[in-house]
Amino acid sequence: GAVVSQHPSWVICKSGTSVKIECRSLDFQATTMFWYRQFPKQSLMLMATSNEGSKATYEQGVEKDKFLINHASLTLSTLTVTSAHPEDSSFYICSASRSGRSYEQYFGPGTRLTVT
């Protein structure tokens, strides 16, 4: 149990376009989901915290108008990278916590975004 999926697993897009990444909790309800970014040979950096039915909370330095987060249901959160540029190329990872078991955190497999 406690599986988190991401779609797509990888995506290539042209500079200036937008791309949406989905994060789903497959067998549990996740009141909170988190989005991380990881550049090559670097550690994970938390971008934002997403709560179902409310606005996301962004970490300092993360542009909320560029990285749109929607947490429409207890099993789905989406991250949209708007007007993507090559410097947005990265590995995007989501994680989710189960309702009532906030100490557990389950990570998705990640989405590799390449902006050309």
Applying CB under 8 A, among 15, 16, 109, 114 the residue interacting with other proteins is 109
Question: Can you read off the two tokens belonging to residue 98?
Answer: 């189960």
Give the C-alpha separation, 100 to 109, whole Å: 23
Regarding 51 and contact with other proteins (CB under 8 A), the answer is no
The answer to whether the peptide bond before residue 40 is cis (omega within 30 degrees of 0) is no
Burial classification of residue 51, based on how many CB atoms lie within 10 Å of its CB (0-12 exposed, 13-18 middle, 19 or more buried):
middle
Regarding 47 and contact with other proteins (CB under 8 A), the answer is no
* Selected range binding other proteins among 13-21, 26-34, 68-76, 77-85, rule: CB under 8 A: 26-34
Check the CA dihedral 98-103-104-105 and report its sign: positive
Applying CB under 8 A, among 13, 44, 74, 76 the residue interacting with other proteins is 44
Regarding 24 and contact with other proteins (CB under 8 A), the answer is no
Site residues, other proteins (CB under 8 A): 4, 6, 32-34, 36, 43-46, 49, 91, 93, 95-97, 102-110, 112
